[in-house]
Structure formats: C-alpha cells, structure tokens
Structure 1
C-alpha cells in the first residue's frame, strides 16, 4: 500500500534533514509524526520515526551519553497558533508580564535570576490560544546554555526592559548583543523576511521581535519613556505597558497576533453555519492550502470554493484554489 505522504509531511522531513541540534531534530520528528497519514502503508515508517525520536530524547536527557559534562536541555512541544518567548536581562518584569498574558503564575522575587527553568503558558487572543514561554535571563553575568536554542525555535520574541532602572538603554541592548554573538538576530516585528531567511536551521536565525517597556506605573515613567525613545537609537517600536493596571495589555496582544503572521480561517459546510473554531494558516496561504489542512484528498478533488469576507458580498464569492485568504475569511469547499 503506497504511503501517499502529504506536502506538509515533506516540509517537516526537510526540516529534519537540515536540523543541526537535538532540539531541532526532536521538534522536526514530532512534526513528522503529527503530519504523517495514519494508515497501513505508513506503519513501518511511523515505527521508524518513533524509534528515532525515542533515541534522540534519551540523548537530550543524558547530555549525549559521552564522557563530557552533562549539558542541561529542555524540549518544549509547540502548541497553539504560535510560540512567543519572553526575553530580557534579570529583574525586568518578564515573569510578571508572563502571568498577565497567560494567567499562569511564574516565580517572582526582588533578587535576580529567579527563573531557572522555562515556564510555559497559553495566551488567549479572541478565539485562539498562543504558546508563551517565560525564559531565564539573557545576561552577561549569567545565562543558562539551553536558553538560546529555545529562542531560536520561537516564532516571535517579546524583549522586556525596566523603564525605572538606572540604565534602561543598556537593559535593552545587552540581550541584543549577547544573542547576536550566538548567531541569533532579533529584528523589528514590522520587517518582512524572505521564506529562505526563516527557520531555526539558518546559520544566523532572524526572529521578529516586539519590545516592551515595563514598570510604567512608576512616577515619572512617561517622561522617561519619551526621552528613551529619542536616545535608544534602535529600530524597534517600544510599547509602554503597565502590568499593575493592565494598561496596554490588550493592545500588546493584538500586536503579538499580528507579529506571528497568521490568519484565522473558518470552515463552512453548504447550508450550515461556519465552524466557531478557526484553522490557523500562515499569511499568504491559499484556498488550496486550507483544503490540505482539512484533508489531503480535498486538494486533488477541489473544484472551487466560496468565500465570505467581512464587509463584502453576503452571498460569498466563488473563487479558485489559488485565491489568497485573509484573517477572518469563511470558506466553503466544493468537491
């Protein structure tokens, strides 16, 4: 029986071939197992993938099994519509922001380097959930060796600094310099990347980043913020945020969603209401991509689709499979 491997599986397989680290290989294998068609023709391939994954996970937890000193590592399965990692030097309010976004408690203290392991939560944005990771400090004083790898595997970075600190500009610049030395370049969220520039397998990982100025509740913080924007000499948009009053949180969530470059698309069967739960696609995806998300056979059998878009024809418009979808579109496939 033929395997009939899907294009999505082939993409994951290519990621595995290009993977250079254990974390990247494990992530790619998990994606391959999730995307592989489940039928008799793929049973042996599924078993082989599971065996490889088991072997790599053992290596990750044992530090490779060699004579050298054990290297601690963390594997965090991707969940939700995207992955956002919170980055910054010590005591900038990262953990407080994480709790505000996710509702999950992360250890907070007045002394530095409180967070020593990754803390994972899910942020709700309207009708989807997005994975958020609170990471230990990225600092010249101390940085755990596995932190850069999790940053590499993130879809978006939230860089946090404390507006009330003695030198907020240094807090902002320090993680940028440290990560650049480790071949990770944090770039402004508004910058567009070519497809070949995206991915943790690149020699220099370029990751879109939003910058947040925390502790905006401190007296005089607004004046300091305006001065900082003039003096920082960075290309990033700096977002003011109050974790205490919640001012700016909803706007930040919208900007995080935008930064992930994803669309929510809703399926609809003829004569029925649209599904309340969306499919999440990359920006620029077509009706054909959407059909493949629902079922691999739909791609070949698809004749046309009808799309409802906010503010347009209430009866929907008939489109071909190469029609590019937008966030909020409702799609009815005709096979």
Structure 2
C-alpha cells in the first residue's frame, strides 16, 4: 500500500508530503514448454499465488514489485475459464505465454498525488487445463484395428499389444525417423460408437486427433471378431464428422490392415466396390506395404509444412 508521511526540517515552515507509492503485485502466467509432456504436476498442487507488491515508505520510496508466478505446461495446453468455459488461450508453440490473473495495483502515497488511494486487490481466477497432443499423424480406427502394431513397427515406441479391445488406454507418441526429416505419429486409443458424445472417453481422444496434420484411418480388413470392415469404416467416419467439421478438410489416408489374414483380400474387393476412395493395403504384422504408407505420409507432410511457411 501507499505511504502517507511528511518530511520537515528546521528550515521548512510547513512539512512536505513525501509518501511513496505501493508496488504492483505479481501476475499468474502460464508458459508452454516443449520439454514438458504432462499436466501431472497440477494434479497434486492446484492453488498458486504470485508475490504481493511491497509497501511504500517515507522519503518517496516505492515498494518492490511482486514477482510473477510462472506455471509451465506442455505445448498443446488449452486454458479455459472454469466459470464460463470460455477459452482464455490455446498454447501451441514453445515459450508461448498468457497472463491468466493480474496482480493488484499498488496504492498511492501522498508524495506525488493530492490524495492517497488504497491498493486494489489482484485477480482471483479458477481455470481448467486441457491437453491436446500435438502430433503430425494420428492413427484412428476401432479397437484391435492394428494401430499399436503399426506404431511399434515404424517407430521406437513400444505400445502395448494384445488381442483384446482398448489395449491402448491413452495416446502414445512415436517418432518415425528419416534422412530428410522425422515426424511424430500418435497411437490414439480405439474409438467406439458414440465416441463423439463421450462414450469410452472417445471425446477426449478425438481432441487429440483434431490437432494432427494427417489422419490415418485403419480398418481391420480381415474382419476379425466378426466385424464388417465397411460398417467399421462408416461408423468411424460418423464419429469424427459428428465431433468436428475440421475433420472434413483434414488430410486422411485410408489403410486396409491385416492383409496377411484369410478373408482380407475378399473383403478388400467388396470394400472397393462400396467405398470409392484410395486405400493402402498392408500388414502391420508382416510390415508388407508399410513402406508405401510412410512414403505417402512424408509427401503429405511436406505439402503441409510448405503451406505453413
């Protein structure tokens, strides 16, 4: 707060006001860092304060400005106002920052002002943090479509693989190396019907898919577990388009996986008669056709990157 004081010596007839001004309090600032991967720290500590501004004193001495409180989050963090749900900032780039609560304003002393003014309190705000993974390529499809097998074969990541649905329960990132450039691929957990409404935590996974530059839609062409590849394809399309119109304009590659299994070739012929889209047949298990997929992805990413420049 500001100081009200007066200076007087033996040579002065009247005392002179010399109270300093109080200092501003620190701000709460969120900063995106590429080196940070999760929001786990905020699970254990959820309340933060910046430093108070210092009080003024006589002799025109102002208080010391309060230090800002910097909170570091991964790139891809969306900060929302908890009361209104409105987005405050979408932190997508390294070192990008935003002030979510401003520090208080210091009070006036009587040294520079005709009247003193009390200090104003800083802002108090509740925010909600959401993390959207930022990957170049996202793998989507029904559970057991072979996404985990593919990402394991093309990158160094070891995604858990087993013959039951929902083997992958959270998005997993892998890096596909290359001589010209490497790219990040995300193994997104399998979607189910009603995912855009939140079933199976599908709406959370679709948030991550929305951030990718390219989507690889994997279809189990062998029809294991008595599934119909055409129905699976149409249902996944319904889920992503119901969730966001952004998926309409996003680059997508259609992949027919498990071509090494019986019934796959027969199903692929039937699929091509019904779905008039380019499709890449492959086997993530034997890796036949995987090189073609990676080559196509590199071409599309080069196009995307050149458009961003």
Query: Any stretches of 5+ residues in structure 1 without a counterpart?
Result: 1-18, 35-48, 61-72, 188-205, 264-280, 286-335
CA distance in structure 2 between the partners assigned to 1:30 and 1:185 by the alignment = 17
CA distance in structure 2 between the partners assigned to 1:171 and 1:215 by the alignment = 14
Q: Helix, strand or coil: the match of 1:109?
A: coil
Q: Which has the higher contact order (CA 8 A, sep 6+)?
A: 2
> Are the equivalent residues in 2 in contact too, given 1:125–1:257 (CA < 8 A)?
no
Residue 246 (str. 1) matches residue 308 (str. 2) = no
CA distance in structure 1 between the partners assigned to 2:279 and 2:88 by the alignment = 35
CA distance in structure 2 between the partners assigned to 1:152 and 1:135 by the alignment = 11
The Cα of 1:256 is off from its aligned counterpart by: 0.7
Deviations 1:226-250 (A, max 9, x none): 221112x34x311101112211111
Residue 171 (str. 1) matches residue 232 (str. 2) = yes
| Total equivalences in the alignment | 199
Deviations 1:87-117 (A, max 9, x none): 0111111111111121311111211112111
Query: Any stretches of 5+ residues in structure 2 without a counterpart?
Result: 1-75, 81-85, 102-123
CA distance in structure 2 between the partners assigned to 1:186 and 1:136 by the alignment = 17
Instruction: For 1:1-335, list aligned pairs within 5 A.
Output: 22=79, 28-31=90-93, 33=95, 49=97, 51-52=99-100, 59-60=128-129, 73-76=130-133, 78=134, 83-140=136-193, 142-144=199-201, 145-165=203-223, 166-184=227-245, 186-187=247-248, 206-231=249-274, 233-234=275-276, 236-262=277-303, 281-283=305-307
Deviations 1:279-317 (A, max 9, x none): xx41485xxxxxxxxxxxxxxxxxxxxxxxxxxxxxxxx
Q: Helix, strand or coil: the match of 1:128?
A: coil
TM-score by length of 1: 0.52
The Cα of 1:207 is off from its aligned counterpart by: 1.3
Larger radius of gyration: 2
Rate the CA distance shift 1:129–1:261 in 2: closer, same or farther, 3 A.
closer
CA distance in structure 2 between the partners assigned to 1:172 and 1:25 by the alignment = 33
CA distance in structure 2 between the partners assigned to 1:120 and 1:135 by the alignment = 9
The Cα of 1:26 is off from its aligned counterpart by: 9.1
The Cα of 1:255 is off from its aligned counterpart by: 0.6
Rate the CA distance shift 1:221–1:98 in 2: closer, same or farther, 3 A.
same
Rate the CA distance shift 1:284–1:75 in 2: closer, same or farther, 3 A.
closer
CA distance in structure 2 between the partners assigned to 1:99 and 1:20 by the alignment = 26
The Cα of 1:222 is off from its aligned counterpart by: 2.2
Structure 1 vs Structure 2 CA RMSD = 3.3
> Are the equivalent residues in 2 in contact too, given 1:262–1:283 (CA < 8 A)?
yes
Greater fraction of residues in helix: 1
Rate the CA distance shift 1:146–1:26 in 2: closer, same or farther, 3 A.
farther
Deviations 1:184-214 (A, max 9, x none): 4545xxxxxxxxxxxxxxxxxx311001111
Rate the CA distance shift 1:22–1:88 in 2: closer, same or farther, 3 A.
farther
Q: Helix, strand or coil: the match of 1:143?
A: helix
TM-score by length of 2: 0.56
The Cα of 1:22 is off from its aligned counterpart by: 3.7
